[in-house]
Every structure is written in C-alpha cells, then in structure tokens.
Amino acid sequence: MLAYTVRRLLNLIPILFLLTAFVFFIFRFLPGGPIEMMVPPDEVLDEEVRLILEKELGLDRPVLVQYFDWLWRALQGDFGESIYSQLPVGGLIMERFPATLYLALAAVVLAIAVAIPMGTIAALRKNTMTDYVAMGTSVLGLTVPNFWLALMMILLFSLGLRWLPSMGYVDPMQDFFGSLKHFVMPAIVLAAYPCAVATRMTRSSMLDELNKDYVYTARSQGLPEWKIIFKYTLKNALIPTITIVGLLFARQLGGTIIIETIFGWPGVGLLIFEHINARDFPVLQGAVLLLAIFFVGINLLVDLMYRLVNPRVELS
C-alpha cells in the first residue's frame, strides 16, 4: 500500500502542473480585465494610465513570464495580493475555506447518513412500497435544481414559519448550536443531489451483491441474515458508493458558489463570486487552484479507502 501511495503521489506532479497552467490561462481568456473593471462604464481609459496600471500590476510582461513567476511564488505558498483589497490572497482564501469545508463536510455526512440506509433498505425490500418511495425521493433529488430548492426552503422555513435564519454564518467553534441554525438549510440543499446519487448506487450495488453465489452459500450454511448483510454484502456494495461519495465531496467544495451566494455563506464559493466580475486574477487563480488540488487529493484518498472497507481489494 505504501508503494502504491508513493507512485500515486509522483503521478500527481504532472497533473498538478497542468492544473496550474489551466487555472492561470483560463482567466486570461475572459473578456475584459482588471483594469477595464476599474474604470466606470461612462469613462474612457487614457492609454498612458492603462500602461502605468499594467506595469504596476505586472500585466505588461509576456503571459508566459507572468505564469512562471506566479507558479514559482505559488510553490512557495505566495499567491500574490488581491488587485482591489491589496491583501494577501492566501490569507483571504484561508479565512474563507473553513466555512466551505464545514458546509461540504456537513452535506456529505448528511448524504451518507441518509443514502446508505435508504439504499440498503430499498434493495432488501425490492419492488415494495418502501423501494418505490426511496427511488422516487432519489429522483426528486436528482432533478430538482439546488438553487430552486434553496429558495423554496427560505420561503418556507425563514419567511413563512420563521424557524431558521435565511442567511449568515456563525463559527461553530464559538457558538455550535447557533451555527446549526444557519447551516441546516444550506447543508440540506447541498446534500440533496449526492444523497440521491449515493442512494441509487447503494441500492444497485446491494442488489448485485445479493445475487452472488457467496450469499447463497452463506444462507445455506445457516448464517443469520443480518450477518450476511452487514458483514459481507454491504462491505462489497459500498466500494462503488465510496467512489461516488468521494467524487461528490470534491464536487461539493467547488460547487458551493450558488448556494453560498443565496445563503450569504462566507466561503470560497462566495469569494470567487465576489471577485470574478472584478477580474481579480490573483484571488481567482488561488481559490480555483486550491479547490482543484483538493479534488485531486480526495480522489487519491478514495482509492486508499477501498482497502480500509474491504482488505481483499488489491491496490495496483
């Protein structure tokens, strides 16, 4: 397992290099730039002023020179300064990242806590009302847009019943129970899609495992049904579910822009939204690169978790 981990880490080097190039150059293809965003729409930017601003921001150099300079500083943990706030990009991201991680973790834990039991029960009660309800609920989770669900929950629980605040964030380290009120709705909205996917995947995997020879053999030997399900069948069925959950968790980290904007959640998604219209390249590059690195790292972690769930799995 150690050799496999080392090989995977070495393979990540070219992937991360390509990620840095993609993240840097993709923003250079956006129409406009930070200088254009500084000028009011009804004013014309003087060419001399433009040249001065470009030199101050380092945008007068060739793009490749800008990229390698940024890459060298990024490798040392320096992502530059925000064009508008003049604050270090690393500090801005680290200030917002815990809120995004907190929300994404809460959503994934909620999705797993609901999806695995629901998918397992649906498989064990195949073609019954329980199965139909579970699958019908998962279809709703797959098809309902999360922004629409977010707005409906705000209308019902905030404006209608007044049970929960419509937006805001409270640090759980300072007031845990107060933070629960603020993250319940965004966590449920963010968990809806991964919960639906994981439920259907768990059900499908369980049905496949229940029809295998080792299950019939275990039953013929008189083993209790609960032992067959939880000790043997569920372990094998969870392997594809782990893959889906891992990918969805990585997706949650980068897919919270809309949810964080609707609920006023001060995370990385809201940070990207705030700076993308201003073309604040340093902030956008740092934030997107951090999310991309986490996505790659979580994929590696998912592969390693296979062995923990089922020791018979060979990593190669």
Q: For residue 288, which of 145, 103, 97 has the smallest C-alpha distance?
A: 97
4 pLDDT band, cuts 50/70/90, is low
- Give pTM, 2 decimals: 0.74
Backbone angles phi and psi of 80, in degrees to 5: 85, -170
User: Which tokens sit at 172?
Assistant: 């759980």
What are the angstrom distances between the C-alpha of 148 and each of 28, 134, 192, 193? Answer: 32, 21, 12, 13
257 pLDDT band, cuts 50/70/90, is confident
Reported as a single tens digit per residue, the pLDDT across 77-98 is 787 778 777 788 888 888 888 8
User: Which tokens sit at 293?
Assistant: 């690195």
Q: How many residues does the chain have?
A: 316
- Across the range 182-210, mean pLDDT stands at 86
- ∠ CA 260-262-263 to the nearest 5 degrees? 65
Core vs surface per residue 53-64: b (16+ CB within 10 A) or e = beeebebeeeee
Distance CA 264, CA 257 (A): 10
Reported as a single tens digit per residue, the pLDDT across 123-162 is 888 888 988 988 888 888 888 888 888 888 899 888 888 8
- Per domain, the residue ranges of the chain are 1-316
Residue 121 burial (C-beta neighbours within 10 Å; 0-12, 13-18, 19+):
middle
Q: For residue 253, which of 100, 48, 86, 138 has the smallest C-alpha distance?
A: 100
CATH no. of 1-316:
1.10.3720.10
Q: Is 202:135 a contact under the CB 8 Å cutoff?
A: no
